[in-house]
């Protein structure tokens, strides 16, 4: 990931905070700050498919975040001081999680459509759709995954041995 050309050229990067069964992103987040890039993380709205990408101030800032009912760290609803990526300069790159992927770029998420609806909003931003990279274990690569009409394909899937 750290040597990837899209990562190197990107300045505004959104990345997920890992759940235990996902690729761990802590080192990537540390490198984003080490390289002087801007880091944004998801804040999901429960009972909806709405998600924002909010600016993380430092790698240490993660420890100040609230734990959701899904056991995901994210800025609280009362945290209104953080920059939302689409309210300002948009994003260059989004690292995406998922449960399964196929080699055509289809992604099986957790079923709420958060990333798909966020990418739709990105497409309306003056900067346009950011490049998307899914981070996966090779065991998550399938021949095909179920696809819905509003699913947005990822540009690239990185996994061991790819």
Considering all CA atoms of the chain, what is the largest pairwise distance in Å, rounded to the nearest integer?
A: 43
Domains of the chain: 5-158 (3.40.50.10420)
107 is in an annotated binding site: yes
CA 113 to each of CA 32, 35, 83, 119, 134: distance values in angstroms, whole numbers, following the listed order = 26, 31, 22, 10, 15
Question: What is the pairing mode between strands 93-96 and 156-159?
Answer: unpaired
Give the residue carrying structure tokens 């003056």.
126
22 is in an annotated binding site: yes
CA 37 to each of CA 7, 48, 93, 159: distance values in angstroms, whole numbers, following the listed order = 10, 30, 11, 23
115 is in an annotated binding site: yes
114 is in an annotated binding site: yes
Give the predicted TM-score (pTM) of the model.
0.94
What's the whole-number mean pLDDT along residues 29-58? 94
| pLDDT tens-digit map of 95-118 | 999 999 998 999 998 878 899 999
Local structure of 100: helix, strand or coil: strand
8 is in an annotated binding site: no
How would residue 65 be classed by pLDDT, with cut points 50, 70 and 90?
very high
The whole-angstrom separation of Cα 97 and Cα 104 is: 16
91 is in an annotated binding site: no
113 is in an annotated binding site: yes
């Amino acid at each position: 990931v750290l040597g990837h050309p899209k990562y190197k050229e990107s300045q505004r990067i959104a990345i997920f905070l890992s759940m235990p069964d996902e690729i761990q992103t802590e080192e990537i987040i540390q490198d984003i700050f080490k390289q002087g890039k801007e880091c944004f993380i998801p804040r999901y709205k429960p009972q909806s498919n709405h998600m924002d990408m909010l600016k993380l101030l430092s790698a240490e800032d993660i420890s100040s975040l609230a734990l959701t009912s899904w056991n995901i760290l994210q800025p609280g609803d009362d945290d209104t001081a953080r920059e939302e990526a689409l309210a300002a300069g948009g994003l260059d790159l989004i690292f995406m999680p998922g449960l399964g992927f196929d080699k055509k770029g289809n992604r099986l998420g957790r079923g709420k459509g958060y990333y798909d609806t966020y990418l739709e909003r990105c497409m309306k931003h003056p900067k346009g759709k950011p490049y998307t990279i899914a981070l996966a274990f090779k065991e998550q690569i399938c021949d095909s995954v179920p696809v819905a009409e509003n699913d947005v394909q990822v540009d690239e899937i990185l996994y061991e041995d790819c």
